[in-house]
Chain A
């Protein structure tokens, strides 16, 4: 399994010593009670479990709670309703069986990008993944190739750093005069960048990429797509374009991509990421030829 949990041995010991005995006892008691409750609820659910429940196997890990320090899978049997998504099922399991089940989610409509996870072996946005499209048991794991913080929550810091490394902001020194003057942009150019602007920073692409897994400095598909979004925007001047090429052409930039299309396959917003990276490669070649 590619899910990574941090090596927390030392940290764990440290946090145990800094916890007061009373707190440790309380935590232990709470944990036991929570487990008993979860077991009872599960037993009930399983007793009722006919074909109208869905069986989930959910990855669990908590660096400071006894019994969860070693990663494990918990089984949840969730009553099925038509239209139910993986996120709905996780919420149900949390609110009814185990309040400590932890995952990020917010908008429930595929725009905040919080709930990308590894579902039955591929990166999915849980809020737009229908349970009925999945084989049982539905295996839910945190995004691979990122450190797990707890249960289904991963550390996104590296992803954010790569995004920020491509200067992900509009740059031009040719703004029109006058406070109310807009820059003109053709409909065609807006169409050209449209798909690239849909990125919701969910991290599914980066997690699916073998190259990113092996090369931590690789900018990755999301950041390169962000670079594409600005590089292709006709409102930025040529100097800025040239500067952007230098960023994406670096050793851990576009040339690392081996066109495996895994990012494109998992993107929940259908962004043609691989194509965008290929286009940037062509631009880089063209630009280099120009200077010969």
Chain B
């Protein structure tokens, strides 16, 4: 039994994980990253548009905060939003100081451009490949600092104690599978574990996310008892290529790109979807507008609309958006200098995730989360373009520093079940959660007799070894690819941009069926060497738990807010729904509850207003 010991263990090596590791190491902790991909393969590298930061005269963090709160449709928590907007400038300049090749203005300063939902052009960018440069710049800093990276090690579970009340639990490390050798090792974290595993786009079939984005960290934390928050809020990006889901940055519209329907109408204005902001309304608004056009027969090939940037001219396009030319050519066979690009909405981002406070801390002691896997909550009902990259930096740094025992101001957001928690109910047609535990309770990850941190890690290691052996030993059954396809299909059919009660219930039934199939899942590759069949089988379990969580939230929330549109409920309902949807795994029998949104900021309270663009 091999146990590695570090002060801080960071799970995942995208933007948030790298930033957390750098911060933890700077705070004096012996830090290690455990990641299923080599860091430069992480999907932060695919982010295109930019980093919102109030850097210039005429702009302020307060304006950025206002835009973000409005963009969130008043479901973001003010302390988290204000933290983001206050810290973003210094984090952005830090990247510059680390050598990141930002695009430059004539005076040599970093360039900024307009983005959807912003009152000031504050999206700081490096061509249309900002994420690539950010990821590589941070990895370079990691190399410089000599932080230990266990790459191609897949974390299968968190080592968490098993007190009855999840809020009393603590994390002491993780268990990870060395993909190359097939060995399972424990990683004891003396100070803390930071989850930075990114998105969960593989819950859907048309997504801008990578194949690796299976929401592993969110699912593991959920099953360990950490509440997950606002899972129903999924962002569908309005401009993805129809055949692959490859993202076309909002920067195209930021620079002046125009959307047209099949009748050649500039529908954002001409059909009245956003009379002021037009193409630069927030993403949820534009995605619904596009699908409405298609559904009403004004789409092209009944599927997509056109995004035209030819009028910007080759010079400007090459200067600021060159990567888009390559993406459109390579993945859709279209030269955007000569013809408009076909685009349609695609799953892009999960606003919800692991509940944290503005210091990245969760309800389980020693466990932190940052980036897309976390929900602080900055994005609420809808994330503004250009707000994900600063979130990685700001909350990655805070979570890392905090995990390492660095000094932090006390958080204003409370996590876990406080006195303000309100019980919830959802009208599900099928049982939820673990299959086969009705009546009994199968604790997940619980290590009953373990008391010391190393015993908790050892016990988790044993449990994970048994789980993996069982998966490898099962001789006949269903293949994970089939189960994943079932889930993706029902999520795409029923839990997409437009949602209605019947469809959501159908999705819950379909997910239940897929869960039952998973009872018989089998790994066909018998090898211990680089067994991707096994890894995908474990990932599929995570996809199942998260698909269910998204759908439960979507069915419970009978109002229309941000990205969450309900056919039967066409109004935002502030009286009943200024609250976060919380889900606790409850040892396999998921429990829905709510907690109020925090609208009180540092020096003002954000009053919900009608959101129009």
Contacts and interface: CB of A to CB of B under 8 A. Distances in A.
B107 interface: yes
Contact of A34 (B40, B110, B144, B526): B526
Interface string A170-199: 101001000111111111001001100110
Interface string B93-105: 1001111011111
Contacts of B104: 185-187, 190
Contacts of B524: 30, 33-34, 37, 99-100
Contacts, number: 167
Interface stretch (B488-496, B528-536, B558-566, B571-579): B528-536
A278 interface: no
Pick the most buried of A150, A156, A236: most chain B CB atoms within 10 A of its CB: A150
Given A180-B90, A182-B97, A185-B104, A149 B529 contact: yes
B486 interface: no
A134 interface: no
Interface in A13-36: 15, 26-27, 29-31, 33-34
B137 interface: yes
Interface string A147-166: 00111010010001000100
Nearest to A37: B524
Interface string B473-485: 1010001010000
B383 interface: no
B106 interface: yes
A114 B143 contact: no
Given A114-B37, A164-B143, A106 B132 contact: no
A235 to B, nearest CB: 7
A181 B109 CA distance: 10
A36 to B, nearest CB: 11
A113 B41 CA distance: 7
A112 B43 contact: yes
B333 interface: yes
Given A99-B525, A100-B525, A112 B532 contact: no
A62 interface: yes
A51 to B, nearest CB: 21
A108 B211 contact: yes
Of B40, B141, B473, the most chain A CB neighbours within 10 A belong to B40
A83 B46 contact: no
Interface string A49-82: 0000000000000111100000000000000000
B525 A34 contact: yes
Contact of B99 (A26, A103, A169, A194): A169
Interface in B423-480: 473, 475, 479
A181 B46 contact: no
Given A175-B97, A230-B99, A168 B40 contact: no
Interface string B227-253: 000000000000000011011000000
A109 B246 contact: yes
Contacts of B97: 175, 182-183
B108 interface: yes
B210 A107 contact: yes
Contacts of B102: 185, 190
B327 interface: yes
Nearest to B322: A194
B93 A182 contact: yes
A186 B109 CA distance: 8
A109 B529 contact: no
B45 interface: yes
Nearest to B529: A150
A4 interface: no
Give the size category of B's interface with A: 35 or more
Interface in B21-41: 37-38, 40-41
B90 A65 contact: no
B39 to A, nearest CB: 10
A249 interface: no
A150 B132 contact: no
Nearest to B48: A111
A37 B523 CA distance: 14
A149 B43 CA distance: 24
B517 to A, nearest CB: 16
B90 A179 contact: yes
B180 interface: yes
B93 A180 contact: yes
A200 B43 CA distance: 12
Nearest to A66: B526
A83 B243 contact: yes
Interface string B116-154: 000000000001010011001100110110000000000
B530 A102 contact: yes
A106 B101 contact: no
Interface in B482-533: 523-533
Interface in A225-268: 230, 233, 235-236
Contact of B473 (A26, A99, A194): A26
B103 A111 contact: no
A64 B527 contact: yes
Contacts of A31: 526
Contact of B529 (A33, A37, A64, A128): A64
Nearest to B105: A187
14 contacts: A62-B529, A100-B525, A102-B531, A106-B37, A108-B211, A113-B40, A151-B530, A169-B144, A170-B140, A182-B96, A186-B104, A190-B101, A197-B136, A233-B101
Given A27-B527, A30-B475, A109-B327, 5 more contacts: A26-B526, A106-B43, A112-B37, A112-B210, A149-B180
Q: Which 8 A-B pairs have the closest CB atoms?
A: A170-B99, A184-B108, A100-B525, A169-B140, A27-B526, A169-B144, A30-B526, A99-B524
